[in-house]
Structure 1
Amino acid sequence: MDALEGWTDFHVAMVGATAALAGLVIVASSVNIAQIVKAPTITSRLAAAIAGLVLAIVVAGVALIPGIPAGAYGAVVLVSTLGAGAFQAHAAAVIARDPDPDDHARVLKAALGFVPIAAYAASGVTVFFDPSTALVIAAVGCIVAIVSAIVMSWVALVEVLR
């Protein structure tokens, strides 16, 4: 896809930064893993955050494949988005079932991870009609996935120590 050529530096930067962040989240989580696995909402949110980062890595990494056709890129984006979306849907369901009556941020906790999923889904569909716009949407999805994962991870790691 010709539109990808101008995005190489962005994708290289995003693959590296996102992979490093995913590794840091996993290492930071491992410090308190015993407490994390006792809290289903925290476990599911961390899994969804990591899945969002993996989605960003996959989408940016596939964009670096020389000469990849737009249809193949779009298909990978959509299939990968479904995978990460499954983790986020599971996290939302676990959060919804949490019996904590004082959890006033329940909707926000459940919704935050869907923002990058929605951006990637839009990108995966748009690439079939307007590849240049699809790449902009995917870039937004990548940046939002990073921000979302940082917020979800930080909140989860702080909550586990309460």
Structure 2
Amino acid sequence: MDAAMDGWSEFNVAMMGATAALAGLLIVAASVNIGEIIKSPAISSRLAAGLAGLVLAIVASGIGLVPGLPLAAYATATVLLALVAALISVMATRRIYQNRDPANRAKVVKSVVGFITPGCYLVGGILVVAGLPIGLMWFAAGALAAIVAGILISWVALVEVLR
């Protein structure tokens, strides 16, 4: 790894553990009500977007721990992963807007939350590829955003299922 990565290993280890634990809890929580969740494409898609953000953070943090990996390779891999997570959020947004139920409010907020994590990783990756190590801070913001978004998305989705 590049000298710019000095000091990031502890952060990446912590983020891998936190995001992996939260992803597991999200899966367990969703599985309890899976019958109701799959009846609503909008809810299941939002949960998928939240999970995609967490998986992005897990994998990006793991890649950041690979010894000797060039910084540009780390950034490129992270950008590709972020694009996949963003695509899942695009699909979730489509499902949110296809849901014509009057109780389906705050469509913009529900949609935007799924893009925060991949957006941070995309910006960070582009900055790092451009030779600006400050992009690593965007990776950190993405990992933290994945935790917040994962909690928010799962809470709102599970409350909607139980309504």
**TM superposition score category, shorter chain reference:** over 0.9
How far did residue 103 of structure 1 move?
A: 2.6
Q: Is the 8 A contact 1:3 1:131 kept in 2?
A: no
Residue 148 (str. 1) matches residue 149 (str. 2): yes
129-138 or 110-119: bigger deviation:
129-138
**Shift >6 Å, 4+ stretches:** none
TM-score, structure 1 as length reference: 0.96
Q: Are the structure 2 counterparts of residues 70 and 131 from structure 1 closer, same or farther at C-alpha, using a change threshold of 3 Å?
A: farther
TM-score norm. by structure 2 comes to: 0.96
Distance 1:6 1:129 in 2: 21
Amino acid at match of 1:111: V
Query: Is the CA contact 1:95–1:110 (under 8 Å) kept in the aligned structure 2?
Result: yes
Aligned AA for 1:80?
Answer: L
Letter in 2 for 1:78: V
Structure 1, gaps ≥5 residues long: none
Size of the aligned set, in residue pairs, is 162
Tell me how far 1:101 sits from its aligned partner. 2.5
In structure 1, the residue matched to 2:66 is 65
Q: Report the CA distance between 1:131 and its aligned residue.
A: 4.5
Cα offset for 1:129? 2.6
Rounded to whole Å, the distance in 2 between the matches of 1:102 and 1:94 is 15
Shift of 1:56: 0.3
CA shift, 1:113, in A, is: 1.1
2:96 paired residue number: 95
Q: Give matches, 1:21-40, under 5 Å.
A: 21-40=22-41
Quote the residue 1:133 is aligned against.
Answer: 134
Alignment of 1:113 with 2:114, yes or no, is: yes
Amino acid at match of 1:87: I
Letter in 2 for 1:118: G
Question: Contact conserved, 2:19 with 2:146, CA < 8 A, in 1?
Answer: no
Provide the C-alpha distance between the structure 1 equivalents of 2:33 and 2:124, rounded to a whole number of angstroms.
Answer: 36
Q: Which SS does the other structure have where 2:54 is aligned?
A: helix
CA distance in 2: counterparts of 1:31 and 1:128, whole angstroms: 42
Q: Percent identity?
A: 48
Q: Which amino acid aligns with 2:102?
A: P
For 1:158 and 1:87, locate their aligned partners in 2 and report how far apart those are by CA, in whole Å.
22
* Counterparts of 1:148 and 1:34, CA distance in 2: 23
Matched to 2:41, the amino acid is P
Secondary structure of 1:17's aligned partner? helix
Once residues 95 and 23 of structure 2 are traced to their aligned partners in structure 1, the CA distance between those partners, rounded to angstroms, is: 22
Per the alignment, residue 47 of structure 1 pairs with 48
